[in-house]
């Protein structure tokens, strides 16, 4: 499966998952040779797919060194399996990349960190605050930390799997992107028995209810619902998207929009939150 030049955002992942399902899972070959740019959420997706299909997935690395260098900076290779690293080493000196001097980007980047089931890593809190406080976004820090920690808590407690999280600040665009993904079965699949006969979009609506529901796990719903009901202060713009079980949703406090639909996908759940200066 050939990847496009630009791997950016959940739309890219949705396209890739649908192509993968169409082609079938027998011949798993990710051809990243044309990739020039990759965003944190797409790097996380690649990691999770490599984890899921360990041993049976072949990867052709990007020809361009720039995306590989960025992936290294994201700590992609720290979490990737040896088979993935070997694939990349066919075209790139990954060992040297990993040993190079790193600029301190703690004011812009929270590298990919692994989320384990049943263990909550608190380091993400101070790392995220550092990025936001460095760009005079202290007032945002508490809200962003609250959002991220609720989503991580959901992965730890309910995905029955591991995941990854990363945060990137783009100084020229003045935009923050939060990327999380897990290797679970997906929100719709995990809840569909509780809501028989409901459409996927309605099940996602239930998962992110802003009012507490007694129909299912109240504690879980309380956390996810709080992510939806937050309003970001001032003139900042905010976009919260979720990709799960083959569909991409944009979630606001007033509605859930199905941005893209597709074939059922069992590849976990991905969250992307973008915050930027309003115009």
**Residues engaged in binding other proteins (CB under 8 A):** 118, 120, 122, 125, 129, 138, 142, 145-146, 149-150, 152-153, 156-157, 210-212, 219, 222-223, 225-226, 229
- The whole-angstrom separation of Cα 90 and Cα 97 is 14
Shortest distance, CB of residue 160 to other proteins, whole angstroms?
14
Express the helix, strand and coil content of the chain in percent, nearest 5 each. Answer: 40, 20, 35
Closest separation in Å from C-beta 228 to other proteins: 11
Quick one: 62 or 184, whose CB is closer to other proteins? Answer: 184
Name the minimum Å distance from CB 72 to other proteins: 30
Q: For residues 58 and 138, which CB has a smaller minimum distance to other proteins in the complex?
A: 138
Quick one: 4 or 153, whose CB is closer to other proteins? Answer: 153
Question: Other CB atoms closer than 10 Å to residue 24's CB: what's the count?
Answer: 8
Nearest CB to other proteins, comparing residues 25 and 212: 212
- Torsion sign, CA atoms 28, 19, 67, 102: negative
Pair 21, 52: CB distance under 8 Å: no
**189 conformational bin, left if phi > 0, alpha if psi -120 to 50, beta if neither:** alpha
Least distance from other proteins to the Cβ atom of residue 161, Å? 16
């Amino acid at each position: 499966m050939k990847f496009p030049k630009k791997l950016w955002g959940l739309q890219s992942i949705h396209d890739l998952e649908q192509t993968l399902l169409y082609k079938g899972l027998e011949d798993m070959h990710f051809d990243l040779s044309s990739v020039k740019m990759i965003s944190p959420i797409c790097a996380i997706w690649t990691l999770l797919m490599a984890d899921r299909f360990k041993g049976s997935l072949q990867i052709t690395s990007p020809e361009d060194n720039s995306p590989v260098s960025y992936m290294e900076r994201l700590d992609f290779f720290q979490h990737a399996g040896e088979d993935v690293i070997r694939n990349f080493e066919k075209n790139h000196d990954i060992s040297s990349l990993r040993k190079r001097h790193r600029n301190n980007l703690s004011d812009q980047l929270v590298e990919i960190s692994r989320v384990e089931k049943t263990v909550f890593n608190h380091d993400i809190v101070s790392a995220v605050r550092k990025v936001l406080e460095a760009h005079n976004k202290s007032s945002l820090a508490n809200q962003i930390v609250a959002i991220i920690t609720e989503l991580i808590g959901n992965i730890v407690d309910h995905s029955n799997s591991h995941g990854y999280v990363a945060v990137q600040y783009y100084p020229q665009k003045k935009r923050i992107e939060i990327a999380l993904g897990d290797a679970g079965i997906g929100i719709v699949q995990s809840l569909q028995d509780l809501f028989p006969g409901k459409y996927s979009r309605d099940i996602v609506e239930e998962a992110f209810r802003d009012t507490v529901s007694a129909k299912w796990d109240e504690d879980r719903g309380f956390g996810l619902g709080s992510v939806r009901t937050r309003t970001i202060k001032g003139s900042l713009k905010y976009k919260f998207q979720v990709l799960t079980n083959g569909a991409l949703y944009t979630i606001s406090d007033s509605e859930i929009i199905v941005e893209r639909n597709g074939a059922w996908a069992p590849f976990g759940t991905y969250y992307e939150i973008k915050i930027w200066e309003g115009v």
